[in-house]
Structure 1
Amino acid sequence: MPIDLSKIKAIDVHVHAEVSCHDPEDPVMGKFFDAASAYFKAPRERPKMPEIIEIYREQQIAFCMFTVDCESGIGAKRVSNYEIAELANKNDDICIPFASIDPHKGKMGAREARDLIENYGVKGFKFHHIMQNIEPASQVGYPIYEVINEYKLPAIFHTGHSGMGTGMRGGGGVRLKYGQPMLVDDVAVDFPDMKIILAHPSWPWVDESLSMALHKDNVFIDLSGWSPKYFQPQIIQYANTQLRKKMLFGSDFPLIHPQKWLDAARQVGFKDEVLPGIMKDNAARVLGLA
């Protein structure tokens, strides 16, 4: 049963599936989970996908679910995109399958992307170039982008500071420079039919994301990874004015609970007429649900 927009109160575009239902937690990834849980003051135990689905169904919040493929960047085994897609498709009243493919996989990654779209109903993609240790506009990843662009699907690009690696020795070996939003600008130009969602408020480069969303018709911003009470004033300002149709609700679950994010969002100065767009309507358009 496809998502009935009249029966949900919000769409969370940023939800992580961090552990497989079948395989044990990867020990390399586990070290990053330890540090991220301490940084976010979040529970260490990672919920499995069926539990995530029930949490969101109970709250009447539809959501995009994905892993992060950083097999080349940090050497952690990824959760299978196919496992996520199959489970999401069995719960398509609430769950939207996204996939993550390490850009280093190039043409083989493009083959996987096409298969996931055509045969497993994947509706979008997630890139985390800090964890993948590669520039967003590296030509190595362009074959994957070409497939996403061909199908006119959205792709989420991590931007700004990374909770993953924070507090670890040498930041866990990950480089924050790949999270600068302007590094995605070439991708937005070269693939105008790919809807690019810049994830997080992009601190310390907040204004770059706002500029890109204002300038490019295919660039949007998800507000995940931070409680709204910590947003910079210009985020609220632009969400209430020129970018009111470009801002999307995202939580970064399991590190931030969606209801906690939504409760905070009602207290920070978003206009009453703007909140429905942020919570649901803008994402519905980007995801092709409306």
Structure 2
Amino acid sequence: MRPHGVWGHSVLHDFRLEQCGPTGERSPLRAGASVYHSLPSLRRGNPSTSHIRLTPRPSALLRVRKGFDGFPATAPALPGITDVHVHHAPRGSLRPAIIDIMRRSMPGFARLEGVMGDPRDFLDHMDAVAVERSCLISYVAPEVMGYKEDTNASVAKYAQEDRKRLLPFGSVHPRRSRDPKRDVERLASKLEVAGLKIHPPHQLFAANAYADGRLPGLRTIYRTAERLRLPVMVHTGTSIFPGARSKYGDPMALDDVAQDFPELTILMAHGGRPIWCEAAFFLLRRHPNIYLDISSIPPPRLLEWFPRIERIADRILFGSDWPGPGIPGIREEIDAVRGLPLSDATKERLFVSNARRVFP
């Protein structure tokens, strides 16, 4: 069943809700109000909605002809999609070298900066590409990316626009935190994050760096997340950004983490692409608490790198890795994955039901 009723996303993203006053003046019902969440009461004839009308957005006609990325704005038929990997970068947080790479590799980067600064614009974009929920990925990595601890408050504030649809991820850097346990607990209780992000190549440590006693704070982060039932996303695979240490992207480090914290839900981002995919699949077969986030794996290579992916169909998650170098757009990633020769049941799990289990 379509979670927001029978109204199609491709139609509703072109409208906004407005309150009609006694003299005919119109004003927005609520900043960033979701048409999807409000329509059920309208259809039931709720008296409190008698002066509410749907008004076409000024850009509606443009978006019918051209989508956000310059392609036709067609909406996939599969409802309830969760994109578990959308990047959130607070304005002014990126190092100049990183911004230069993004501008050169991503057409329309200036427009992307605007969208990532205004959650209402991003929710409109989610509507246009028929994504119900997005995980907003943010992490502390001043050495490589420029992100500092204030990125946590930024992503949480951004997600406040619609917490049913925007799921913020926070971060505690084990070398920068004086009290990792307290900081993880604060992210969970005060900022209400949906998960944690660890990026070994950008934070410059292996995912199991606690094992030899050199980074005890990392063990505390995992242990606290396990107790609080917070999923932890870990980047695996290489990174192109200056200063990144791709050796820390080897997914085999998660063999320790999965065994030492068996109740911890681990989201293996990118499946070790492009050079550690076999090791990643071994870990997915071995550890039931590891999920595969397919973001940043080019859809045409997914079945080449994971030819037996349907054997782990209950633990694969769709992620777009947008906005990022080489990612054309969320809609393009969805359409390319949907075009792969996978069973309908596998696609439903990948796009919808697995994420609902991890993020109920």
What's the TM-score bracket when you normalise by the shorter of the two chains?
0.7 to 0.9
Give the deviation of 1:36 after TM superposition: 4.4
Identify the match of residue 109 of structure 2 among 38, 44, 54.
44
Residue 278 of structure 1 is matched in structure 2 by 350
Match among 187, 199, 216 for residue 116 of structure 1: 187
- Letter of the structure 2 residue corresponding to residue 26 of structure 1: S
Q: Which residue, out of 129, 132, 136, partners 2:207?
A: 136
Tell me, in whole angstroms, the C-alpha distance in 1 between the residues paired with 2:296 and 2:308: 19
Q: What is the SS of the residue equivalent to 1:98? A: strand
TM-superposed CA distance for 1:178, in Å, is 0.3
Given candidates 164, 176, 190, the residue that maps to 2:246 is 176
The amino acid of 1:156's aligned partner reads M
For 1:6, the aligned partner's letter is P
Contact kept, 8 Å, 2:90 with 2:155, in 1: the verdict is no
Aligned with residue 156 of structure 1, among 229, 233, 236: 233
Which residue of the partner structure matches residue 197 of structure 2? 126
Q: Residue 109 of structure 2: SS of its match in structure 1? A: coil
Q: Deviations over 1:246-288 (max 9, x none)?
A: 110000111232211111012222222210110111111112x
1:5–1:122 Cα change, 3 Å: farther
Residues 2-51 of structure 1: per-residue CA shift (max 9 Å, x gap): xx98235300000111124xxxx2352x3123224545x45433332413
Q: Who is 1:169 aligned against?
A: none
Aligned with 1:189 (options 259, 263, 273): 259
Could you tell me how far apart the structure 1 residues matched to 2:183 and 2:2 are? 30
- Give deviations 1:77-129, integer Å, cap 9, x for gaps: 43521221133133123111211222323452332210110122111011111
Query: What does residue 26 of structure 1 align with?
Result: 93
- CA–CA distance in 1 between the matches of 2:197 and 2:152? 11
Aligned identity (percent) is: 25
Mapped contact 2:94–2:145 kept (Cα < 8 A)? no
2:315 to 246, 266, 285: 246
- The more displaced of 154-163 and 243-252 is 154-163
SS of the equivalent of 1:144 reads helix
Q: Is the radius of gyration larger for structure 1 or structure 2?
A: 2
The one-letter amino acid paired with 1:252 is D
Segments of 5+ residues of structure 1 without an aligned counterpart are 166-171
Letter in 2 for 1:248: L
* CA positional deviation for 1:162: 1.5
Deviation at 1:194, TM superposition (A): 1.3
TM-score, normalized by length of structure 1? Answer: 0.85
**Residue ranges of structure 2 left out of the alignment (5+ in a row):** 5-78
Cα RMSD after superposing both structures: 2.1
1:210 and 2:281 matched: yes
Q: Specify the SS of the correspondent of 2:271.
A: coil
State the distance in 1 between where 2:227 and 2:206 align. Answer: 22
How many angstroms apart in 2 are the aligned matches of 1:74 and 1:227? 24
Contact map agreement 2:237 2:271 (CA 8 A) in 1: yes
Q: Please, which moves more after superposition, 137-146 or 101-110?
A: 101-110
Partner of 2:292: 221
Structure 1 residues 133, 253: closer, same or farther in 2, change over 3 A?
Answer: same
Aligned to 1:264: 336
Q: 1:85 to 1:198 in 2, by over 3 A?
A: same
Residue-by-residue CA offset, 1:192-212 (whole Å, 9 max, x unaligned): 121101101322000111111
The answer for the alignment partner of 1:55 in structure 2 is 125
